[in-house]
Amino acid sequence: MSGMRDRVKAEMPKVGRRRAVGDATRHHFHTRRKQWAKMTEEGRLQPLRDWAKAVKDQALNNNQQVVAKFQQSVEALGGHVHFAATAADCVRQVVEIATQHGAKLVVKSKSMATEEIHLNPALEAAGVETVETDLGEYIVQLAGEPPIHIVGPALHLTRYDVAELFEKELGEPMSTDPEALTAVARRVLRDKFLNADVGITGANAGIAETGTVVLFTNEGNGRMVTSLPRVMITVMGMEKVIGTWADFEPVLTLLPRSATGQNMTVYVSAVTGPRREGELDGPEELHVIVMDAGRSKLLGTEYQEALRCFRCGACLNCCPVFRQLGGHAYGTTYGGPIGITITPLMKGFVEHADLLDACSLCGACTEACAMQIPLHHLIRDLKAERAASAYTSGWERLLFRVWSWAWSSAGRFRWTGKLARLLAKPYTQDGYLTWHPGPLAAWGAERDFPAPAARSLRERWADLEREVNP
Amino acid sequence: MRVSFFATCLVDMFFPDIGESAIRVLRRLDCQVDFPMGQTCCGQPAWNSGFRAESERMAEAVIRAFAGSEYVVAPSGSCAGMIRTVYPALFEGRPELQAQARALAAKTYELTEFLVKVLRVDLRERGAHFDGKVAYHQSCHMTRELGVVAEPYQLLDQVQGVIRHDLERPDLCCGFGGTFSVKQPELSVAMLEDKLSDLDASGADILVGADPACMMHMKGRMRRLGKSQKVIHLAQLLEMATRPGRGEAKP
């Protein structure tokens, strides 16, 4: 796998996509900010955030009990709950359930958890046609790409891109009208819904007291996936389970407002057990797979806070780095601040250590996070773990060690300052360097770097003191 | 009032003019200023890169240097923020140093914050005057770690002749981020370009900052591109605005 810097360099020339990502994230950023300003004025933003945090912390602190209660409730309704320790376990279980039922066609509602475990290729390999039904997910699936943003999977593609894609993949006559494009997708997907054997969903929350899986969608596709196919499988991260419906209220209120600025998601679907006698729709068989896949490593540590995340994407929308890139350049399922926090934690530093460099520690994410996850502080703490690990070069370590030795004494500080000035002198013009050696090369490619001043402030102090303290 | 000036390494070595301006402003506002020679660098680059022990070592030197000070004032939001928000936690498990770190944190201020909150200046009373169309860049750590946002605007509003041309997103990162600027230079510059577009759109002639590191970054690109706007520290603007016999002052 290539490094973060290489992926960034590969992404930079894709100007059109980057502009689309920038425009979309800026739009979501402003709608959320407007929504938040209104709620602040009404005096209810902070109380809601505190409530949501408290609810989620309590559920995470008692994760085992809450998940056990959820299992009990689902099973009491005749559903099945499975546990998956790893991503591979989870994939295997889903494929098993699907193939046991002789499934030929699976429809899916939007789910980052199934993206995380790369479920679709595994189902396809088992001979099961797998169709995403969220419009954005459907588009990126046709394009053969992963989602670029956890809320807006295709926000990097314009309607012209989509028109081209539909023409190529679906043989549809070219139209760049968004409504016409949506109608095409609706027609194609309607047929899939009606013929699917299995519906697969993620979960925005699991409610332990009633054994309910809750889905937020804006298109109604979640309803179709959970009501038409005979078998339903939900893949849910273990951190998604909360205790009660009362606990759900702050999540219900905050999630759409933080994600898109909407007061309310268009569809909130709550699936409580399989179809009961006398009911007209709903799955005959319901499976919920509660997935760990590295999440439990965060429980009980300072990083547990990151598990409060309800995937609203606000940290992506405000992140000045994400806005430049979109999610693909991160090379992970989750990009942006939350991605660079949880990915190394769940999957380890191997291949993911340099994600931490895709952050200027500006703190915009921490400010934007509805769940009050101190994202940039966690990223900094992860950097401290990296600095103490084999994923930091000996050179970097040596550089910081020597530098801190030099500058932890005023005498050495003065001496190194003079040395720097002396070394820079032949390469100084108008107060700026004309040559950028070593780590400065990366700076100097597109920016000028100042030369040390001819007299430092401490050298000027004697004169200055005579002037200001006569 | 006795004020110890914490220049910060960048100002001491690279931008002493900013330090001189800040010291002169403090003096004009009736502060007795000293410059403890034991001061070095707050250690922030090491801390932000995850090198805790290294930042601790530098923090110790800074704590010692300002042990006898009444107030400590720094012309940098991120360095003042380092002392205030990080130092006390840095010495967890070393009670004696932690107590000193807490004491230092309690008396350390970023310059504009000090002028507004401690000195409670009203520059209008002092006839401050500076003509210019000014945009102010907030700097991330000053905004989000230290929480100093309103003060610089308040001071700018007290200077007659200043016409504020606020940026659309004064709080958006300029792309500096310490080692980020050299570890991800392409990203860093792309972020900087957004900042400079914002500046161009604002119509300001002067970009004012209160954190020399961000200023160095922005100016470094602007100089390379040959842009016409000037970049100055708020201390420099205030110094010109309060200069005795001012009028001919040019940034």
Question: Is the confidence at residue B223, as pLDDT, over 90?
Answer: yes
Residue range A207-224: average pLDDT? 96
Q: Is the pLDDT of residue B248 over 70?
A: no
Chain A residues whose beta carbon lies within 8 Å of the beta carbon of residue B49: 383, 387, 396, 400
| A180's tokens | 């016409």
Contact between B233 and B210 (Cβ < 8 Å): yes
Tokens representing A171 are 């043989």
> Averaged over A351-369, what is the pLDDT?
97
Token pair 């001491």 is at which residue? Answer: B12
Q: Which of residues 342-361 of A touch B (CB under 8 A)?
A: 357-361
pLDDT at A444 over 50: yes
Strands A129-132 and A432-433: unpaired
**Where is average pLDDT lowest: A46-60, A229-243, B98-112, B234-248?**
B234-248
Taking the C-alpha atoms of residue B108 and residue B115, their distance in angstroms, rounded to an integer, is 12
Residue A64 burial by CB count (10 A; 0-12/13-18/19+): exposed, middle or buried? exposed
CA–CA separation, B108 and B81 (whole Å): 9
Is residue A120 within 8 Å of residue A110, measured between CB atoms? no
Which candidate from A320, A386, A464 shows the least CB-CB separation from B173? A320
In this predicted structure, which of A222-236, A308-322, B172-186, B234-248 has the lowest mean pLDDT? B234-248
Q: Classify residue A411 by burial, with Cβ atoms within 10 Å: 0-12, 13-18, 19+.
A: exposed
Backbone angles phi, psi at A183, to 5 degrees: -65, -35
Q: Smallest Cα–Cα separation from A18: which of A363, A258, A319, A327?
A: A327
**pLDDT tier for residue A173 given thresholds of 50, 70 and 90:** confident
User: Per the structure block, which two tokens stand in for B167?
Assistant: 């940026």
What are the tokens at B151?
Answer: 């003060």
Average pLDDT over chain B reads 96
Cα of B54 to nearest chain A Cα, Å = 5
* Shortest CA distance from A321: residue in chain B: B187
**Residue B139 falls in which region: left (phi positive, over 0), alpha (psi -120 to 50) or beta:** left
**Tens of pLDDT along B182-218?**
999 999 999 999 999 999 999 999 999 999 999 999 9
- Of A140-144, A155-159, A403-407, B241-245, the poorest mean pLDDT is in B241-245
| Beta strand B160-164 pairing with B129-136 | parallel
* Count of CB atoms situated within 10 Å of the CB of A160: 11
**Coil, helix or strand for B80?**
helix
What span, in angstroms and rounded, lies between the C-alpha atoms of A87 and A93? 10
Q: Tokens representing B202? A: 């604002």
Separation between Cα atoms, residue A241 and residue B88, nearest integer Å: 36
pLDDT above 60 for B247: no
First to last CA, chain B: 29
Please give the average per-residue pLDDT across A196-204, as a whole number: 98
* B221 to A446: CB separation less than 8 angstroms, yes or no: yes
Per-residue pLDDT at A78 exceeds 70:
yes
Q: Is the dihedral of CA A452, A458, A459, A463 positive or negative?
A: positive
Cα separation, B60 vs B124, whole angstroms: 40
pLDDT at B249: 45
Length of chain B: 251
DSSP state of A239: G
pLDDT tops 90 at residue A134:
yes
One-letter amino acid for residue B214 of the chain: C
For B95-103, what is the mean pLDDT?
A: 97
Share of chain A above pLDDT 90, in %: 97
Q: In what order do the strands lie in the sheet with B2-5?
A: B32-34, B2-5, B71-74, B108-110
| Closest to B216 (Cα-Cα) out of B117, B132, B137 | B137
Determine whether the interchain pair A410/B190 forms a contact, defined as Cβ–Cβ distance below 8 Å.
no
Q: Does A26 touch chain B (CB under 8 A)?
A: no
Tokens of A261: 């600025």
CA atoms lying within 13 Å on the CB side of residue A126: 22
- Residue A302, Cβ density class (10 Å: 0-12 exposed, 13-18 middle, ≥19 buried): exposed
Q: Mapping DSSP to helix (H, G, I), strand (E, B) and coil, where does residue B34 land?
A: strand
Check if the beta carbon of residue A362 is closer than 8 Å to that of residue B173: yes
Q: What integer best gives the mean pLDDT of chain A?
A: 96
**pLDDT per residue over B33-86, tens digit each?**
999 999 999 999 999 999 999 999 999 999 999 999 999 999 999 999 999 999
Distance from CA of A191 to the nearest CA of B (A): 44
Confidence of residue A468 (pLDDT cuts 50, 70, 90): confident
* Between residues A173 and A337, the one the model is more confident about: A337
Q: What is the pLDDT of residue A1?
A: 52
* CB-defined contacts A:B, below 8 A: 199
pLDDT digits (tens, 9 = 90+) for A41-62: 999 999 999 999 999 999 999 9
Q: pTM for the full model?
A: 0.96
Predicted confidence at residue B250, as pLDDT, reads 45
- A396, pLDDT greater than 70: yes
Per-residue three-class SS string for A125-194:
HCCCEEEECCHHHHHHHHHCCCCCCCCCCCCCCCHHHHHHHHHHHHCCCCCCCHHHHHHHHHHHHHHHHH
Distances (CA, A) of A402 to A204, A250, A385, B46: 49, 50, 20, 11
- Give the three-state DSSP class for B60: helix
Question: Which of B1, B4, B13 to mutate to test binding with chain A, by most A CBs within 10 Å of its CB?
Answer: B13
Whether the CB of A407 is below 8 Å from some CB of chain B: the reply is yes
Give the DSSP per-residue string, B192-204: HHHHHHHHHHHT-
Does residue A267 sit in helix, strand or coil? strand
Tally the residues of chain A: 470
pLDDT higher than 80, residue A133: yes
Taking residues A306-315, what's their average pLDDT? 98
Percent of chain A's residues with pLDDT above 70: 100
Task: Give the Cα separation of A164 and B164 in Å (integer).
Answer: 47
Q: What is the 3-state secondary structure (H, E, C) of B167-179?
A: CCCCCCCCCCCCC
In Å, how far is A313's CA from the nearest CA of chain B? 18
CA–CA dist A429, B217 (Å, integer): 18
Amino acid at A27: H
Residue A248 tokens, joined: 């759900």
Output the CA–CA distances (angstroms, integers) from residue A153 to A149, A157, B14, in the order listed: 5, 9, 46
CB contact under 8 A, B180 and A465: no
Contact A8/B at CB under 8 A: yes
A450 touches chain B (CB under 8 A): yes
A433 touches chain B (CB under 8 A): no
**E-assigned strands of A28-128?**
80-84, 105-108
pLDDT for the residue B246: 60
Tell me which residue in A4, A443, A452 faces B185 most closely, judged by beta carbons. A443
Tokens of A309: 């995340």
